[in-house]
């Protein structure tokens, strides 16, 4: 019987888990055994008994889990300390950027360990239930709005009172991918007037369907890859976008930045001169902070004040929604393994004719 194991992440940087009590039940029904490190999800208020009731084996040490498992599930890539524990010819499945983990990946490949990064999933219909970028970005977009509204020092919806009217806050969402669209929907539900911009022309219809107003650059080009991601814009387009943004930002209360290019540094969209012309009291929440940020002055896990404009970004906003994020991530992982598992012969089948398996396997 194939064993699937998971150990605690470094709680200083990551609070999500890869396996929930609910997913244990699904794995055991599939015919797999589950090995977990002691106190695996205690920080989320989930005790070991909740896992045991659903059929998991709770091992005492991280090393024991690695020794007894053919498949290791993680949120992030293995640490240097964990490399020495993983068995040769094991399978590692996690969510990480292969470009920033090359040294560790090379060491693992030398030990004949098959590595799958769910960040590399192809954007096809069959992979939607495994799409960790979408499930996690959806939560990130929602939480970015909640966090920025909590710090913003004015009311969000329009309020009419006998003493006068409070105007609705104006929100600009930069980047209308999964995180951006959820940010638009959340801000709109809370009564804000929402504007959005994106380099992909297809985003216009999606933004407007949520009640947002799409800012269109005159003579815009469609900057969308075949996989549905944004790609680098031309210098001419960037100049037109800057001019439009500069004028718009003078009237905005809160900016939510979500623009990312997979595997690359985040594009710098809000420049220093733009921030200089923004009104004091304006807030910029930069979801791209961990990849360099979409705004000038963005610092990870800090609130920077520039002439009364607050710029904030977090390394891992999902640490503020770890239970919801873990529930979705665990389902994504289960669906991925279900596709990898040959139920008839009860073995893992790395079928490179399957686009999902081929694209996520790190060479």
Report the chain's terminal Cα–Cα distance, integer Å. Answer: 27
Verify that 152 and 299 share a domain, yes or no: yes
| Residue linked to tokens 């794995």 | 27
Whether pLDDT at 147 is above 60: yes
pLDDT at residue 37, as a whole number: 97
75 shares a domain with 176: no
Mean pLDDT, residues 74-89: 93
Q: Which pLDDT belongs to residue 165?
A: 96
Domain that includes residue 76, residue range: 3-120+322-360
Q: Is residue 130 part of a domain?
A: no
pLDDT of residue 341: 94
The reply to whether 103 falls in a domain is: yes
242-286 pLDDT per residue, tens = 889 999 999 999 999 999 887 789 999 999 999 999 999 999 999
- Report residue 320 CA to chain centroid gap: 13
pLDDT at residue 224 in the model: 57
Q: Are residues 344 and 266 in the same domain?
A: no
- State whether residue 123 is helix, strand or coil: coil
How many Cβ atoms sit within 10 Å of the Cβ of residue 262?
15
- Return the percentage of the chain with pLDDT > 90, whole number: 84
pLDDT in tens, 20-69: 999 999 999 999 999 999 999 999 999 999 999 999 999 889 999 999 99
Closest CA to 27 of 59, 51, 44, 10: 51
Same domain membership, residue 206 and residue 259: yes
Question: Are residues 175 and 290 located together in one domain of the fold?
Answer: yes
| pLDDT classification of 199: cutoffs 50, 70, 90 | confident
pTM for the whole structure: 0.91
- Domain holding 78: CATH number? 3.40.50.720
Collapsed DSSP state (helix, strand, coil) of residue 191 = coil
Tens of pLDDT, residue by residue over 1-25, are 899 999 999 999 999 999 999 999 9
Element (H, E) at 135: helix 132-151
Q: Is residue 125 part of a domain?
A: no
Domain-embedded: residue 131 = no
The confidence band for 70, taking pLDDT boundaries of 50, 70 and 90, is: very high
Final residue before a domain boundary, out of 319, 334, 350: 319
Over residues 127-146, the mean pLDDT reads: 97
Q: Is 178 in the same domain as 280?
A: yes
> Do 231 and 250 sit in the same domain of this protein?
yes
User: Does residue 126 lie in a domain region?
Assistant: no
Alpha-carbon distance of 62 to 66, in angstroms, equals 7
Range with the poorest average pLDDT among 67-71, 100-104, 327-331, 337-341: 100-104
Beta strands, E only, 212-301:
213-214, 254-257, 283-286
199 near 230, Cβ under 8 Å? yes
Is 224 within 8 Å of 202 (Cβ atoms)? Answer: yes
Q: How many CA atoms lie within 13 A of 172 on its CB side?
A: 24
CA dihedral 63, 67, 69, 75 (to 10 degrees): 30
- Residue 172 falls inside a structural domain: yes
Instruction: State yes or no: pLDDT of 229 exceeds 80.
Output: no
Q: Kindly compute the dihedral angle of the four CA atoms of residues 252, 255, 258, 260, in this order, to the nearest 10 degrees.
A: 70
Q: Which two tokens stand for residue 290?
A: 């961990």
Torsions phi, psi of 43, nearest 5? Answer: -65, -15
**Residues 165, 259 within the same domain:** yes
Q: How far is it, in rounded angstroms, from Cα 188 to Cα 246?
A: 23
Q: Is 128 within the bounds of a domain?
A: no
**In this structure, are 116 and 53 located in the same domain?**
yes
Instruction: State yes or no: pLDDT of 222 exceeds 70.
Output: no
Residue 349 has a pLDDT of: 93
Strands 57-59 and 71-73: unpaired
Average per-residue pLDDT for the chain: 93
Cα(22)–Cα(324) distance, integer angstroms: 13
Residues 40 and 95 occupy one common structural domain: yes
Same domain for 48 and 72: yes
Q: Any idea how long the chain is?
A: 363
Q: How many CB atoms lie within 10 A of CB 329?
A: 26
**Domain total in the chain:** 2
pLDDT band, very low/low/confident/very high, at 200 (cuts 50, 70, 90): confident
Q: Is residue 151 predicted with pLDDT exceeding 60?
A: yes
C-beta separation of 180 from 212 below 8 A:
no
The reply to whether 315 and 326 lie within a common domain is no
Q: Which residues are catalytic?
A: 123, 128, 131, 134, 229
Q: Is the pLDDT of residue 173 over 80?
A: yes
| DSSP per position, 222-238 | --B-TTS-B-PPPHHHH
Q: What is the pLDDT of residue 238?
A: 75
pLDDT-based confidence at residue 239 (cuts at 50, 70, 90): confident
């Amino acid at each position: 019987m194939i064993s699937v194991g998971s150990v605690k992440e470094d709680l200083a940087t990551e609070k999500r888990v890869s396996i929930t009590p609910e997913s244990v039940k699904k794995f055991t029904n599939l015919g797999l055994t589950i090995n977990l490190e002691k106190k695996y999800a205690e920080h989320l208020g989930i005790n070991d008994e909740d896992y045991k009731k659903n059929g998991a084996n709770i091992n005492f040490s991280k090393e024991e889990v690695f020794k007894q498992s053919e498949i290791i599930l993680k949120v992030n890539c293995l640490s240097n300390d964990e490399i020495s524990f993983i068995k040769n010819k094991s399978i590692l499945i996690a969510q990480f950027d292969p470009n920033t983990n090359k040294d560790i990946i090379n060491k693992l490949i030398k030990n004949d360990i098959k590595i799958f990064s769910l960040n590399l999933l192809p954007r096809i219909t069959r992979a939607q239930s495994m799409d960790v970028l979408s499930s996690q970005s959806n939560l990130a977009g929602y939480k970015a709005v909640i966090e920025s509204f909590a710090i913003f020092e004015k009311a969000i919806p329009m309020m009419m009172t006998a003493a006068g009217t409070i105007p609705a806050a104006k929100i600009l969402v930069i980047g209308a991918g999964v995180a951006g669209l959820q940010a638009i929907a959340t801000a709109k539900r809370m009564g804000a007037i929402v504007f959005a911009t994106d380099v992909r022309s297809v985003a216009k219809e999606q933004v407007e369907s949520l009640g947002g107003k799409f800012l269109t650059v005159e003579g815009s080009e469609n900057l969308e890859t075949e996989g549905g991601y944004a790609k680098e814009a031309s210098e001419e387009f960037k100049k037109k976008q800057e001019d439009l943004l500069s004028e718009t930002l003078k009237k905005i209360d809160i900016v939510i930045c979500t623009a990312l290019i997979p595997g690359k540094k985040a594009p710098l969209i809000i420049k220093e001169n733009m921030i200089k012309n923004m009104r004091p009291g304006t807030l910029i929440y930069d979801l791209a902070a961990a990849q360099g940020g979409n705004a000038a002055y963005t610092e990870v896990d800090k609130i920077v004040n520039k002439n009364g404009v607050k710029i904030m970004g977090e390394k891992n906003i999902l640490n503020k929604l770890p239970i919801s994020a873990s529930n979705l991530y665990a389902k994504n992982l289960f669906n991925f393994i279900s596709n990898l598992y040959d139920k008839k012969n009860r073995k893992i089948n790395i079928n490179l004719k399957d686009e999902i398996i081929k694209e996520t396997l790190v060479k």
